[in-house]
Structure 1
Amino acid sequence: MGFLSVLSQAQRFVTERVRPGDIVIDATAGNGVDTLFLSKLVGAGGKVFAFDVQPDALEHTRKRLESVRDQEALAPVTLLHTGHEHIAESIPDTCHGQVAAVMFNLGYLPGGEHSVTTMPPTTLIALQAALKLLRTGGILTAIVYPGHQGGDEEAQAVEAWASGVSSLTAQSVIYRFPQKQAAPFLVALNKR
């Protein structure tokens, strides 16, 4: 039996820290995989905010949620057509400091236009803002993709950012497969 994939490990970290009724954020909705996961996890009493700059991504996410809504007790999801760098001003003030988890799955939309991708300047703004939105004990996960054009630069920037966060603010960890340098890896922070 091998190790968990980076996505499965991110979900495991989140599952260990999130409870029904919590407030959670998918900072990069994409095809809605993390949004659906979070909506199931917090249940009908929770709240999910999902961000993406691409209307197609939000439509994929909406359809994914609708495909299971009758079979599962999902949290209400607010889909936000904006970049994750606007996370702080897009989340209601009453939720600041109350968020249990923020998930990032960086890079480009699978099956979408590869020229539309997350970028280090906006990603770093979003990560810093997300860390402030978290409650004590909250989790931030970021999957990075060094194997695509610009992905290595973003992966290095995210890793450097996480390394620079004070251990008094959050504990950080990197989960990667070192034999595959271009493979995606996970950066996670647990807020103190």
Structure 2
Amino acid sequence: MGFLSVLSMAQRFVTERAVAGDTLVDATAGNGVDTLFLARLAGERGRVFAFDVQEAALANTRDRLDREPSPCRLAEVTLCQAGHETMAERVPRSLHGGVRAVMFNLGYLPGADPAVITRTETTLAALEAAVGLLAVGGALTAVLYPGHEGGGDEAKAVEEWFGRIPGERAQTVVYRFPQKPAAPYLVALEKR
């Protein structure tokens, strides 16, 4: 049967902590897979904010949402063409401390220029912003891709950031396949 993929495990962590009507964030919209997942989970009474610096990523995300057979059952989705490090400024202040989940899928946009990647400095700032947005009991997931140019350094820095979080602030976990050191892996936290 095998273990869940890192992407499926990230979704599982979020599903266990979020319900219809919640506010959720996709910090890296990419091709819209996580955005659609979050919009379905939050439902028509919920809200989703999706961030990406690339116009093509947001267009792909909008197309994926528009192809959904029952769009009326999706959460209201706000697409933000901005870096994920700006999420605290773009998510309304009234929602700070009430977001139930923030998902990151780091690296580059599949099918686009692989030189346009997430950067360690902005990713670490975005992680800090995300924790500030989360409700107690909320989840933050980050899928890391050490196998591409620059990905190993970013993955190491992000995993170290998760390791430095005080236990009274959050509980953290790493989900990885140790026989495949270059394969994507997941780090996640639950805010306390």
Unmatched tracts of structure 1, length 5 or more: none
1:5-84 map, 5 Å: 5-68=5-68, 70=70, 73-84=73-84
Give the TM-score of the pair, scaled to structure 2: 0.99
- How far the C-alpha of 1:133 sits from its partner, in A, is 0.4
1:104-143 map, 5 Å: 104-143=104-143
**Number of aligned pairs?**
192
**1:68-124 deviation line (CA, Å, top 9, x unaligned):** 153661001000000001111111000100000000000000111101000100000
- Following TM superposition, where does structure 1 have runs of at least 4 consecutive aligned residues deviating by more than 3 angstroms? 69-72
The SS at the match of 1:28 is coil
1:174 aligns with 2:179: no
The SS at the match of 2:154 is helix
**1:21-61 deviation line (CA, Å, top 9, x unaligned):** 00000000000000000000010000000000000000000
User: Does the C-alpha gap of structure 1 residues 117 and 135 become closer, same or farther in structure 2, counting only changes over 3 Å?
Assistant: same
CA contact (8 A) 2:44 2:72 kept: no
Q: Give the distance between the partners of 2:108 and 2:71, measured in 1 at CA.
A: 30
Give the partner amino acid of 2:148.
Answer: H
Give the corresponding residue for 2:144: 144
Q: Give the distance between the partners of 1:95 and 1:71, measured in 2 at CA.
A: 24
**1:130-162 deviation line (CA, Å, top 9, x unaligned):** 011000000000000000000000000000000
RMSD: 0.8
Give the TM-score of the pair, scaled to structure 1: 0.99
